[in-house]
Amino acid sequence: MLELRPNCQACGRDLPPDATEAMICSFECTFCASCAIARLAGRCPNCGGELLRRPRRPADSLARHPASTRRVGRPAAGITSRDETGHDASA
């Protein structure tokens, strides 16, 4: 079952379970569409896999199987190199 992680792992923006712009790889590395497309070119920086749109979970299923609330941080390598302060200037 998908975790439905609550945020983009690149820019940290919130990606609620009903977000249409959430993108995931097969390991559920989770990114917003703008990071996935503009920064990552559709490829997961952690595993190299495809990033595809995350399906939304219907509300009744979400009540029984809630989305993860555990925020997953930035990946250790790759896209963080330009941002050594930990702050994203675009936020």
Span of 33-41, 52-60, 65-73, 74-82 interacting with Zn ion by CB under 5 A: 33-41
- Specify burial of residue 49 (Cβ count, 10 A radius: 0-12, 13-18, 19+): middle
Residues in the chain: 91
Check residue 15 for interaction with Zn ion (CB under 5 A).
no
CA 53 and chain centroid, separation: 10
Token pair of 49, please? 């896999």
In the list 25, 40, 54, 57, the residue contacting Zn ion (rule: CB under 5 A) is: 25
Interactions with Zn ion, residue window 40-79 (CB under 5 A) = 44, 46-47
**Shortest approach of Zn ion to residue 12 CB, angstroms?**
7
Q: Which of 43/65 has CB closer to Zn ion?
A: 43
In the list 17, 32, 54, 57, the residue contacting Zn ion (rule: CB under 5 A) is: 32
Using CA atoms of 12, 18, 19, 23 in order, give the dihedral in degrees to the nearest 10: 80
Check residue 33 for interaction with Zn ion (CB under 5 A).
no
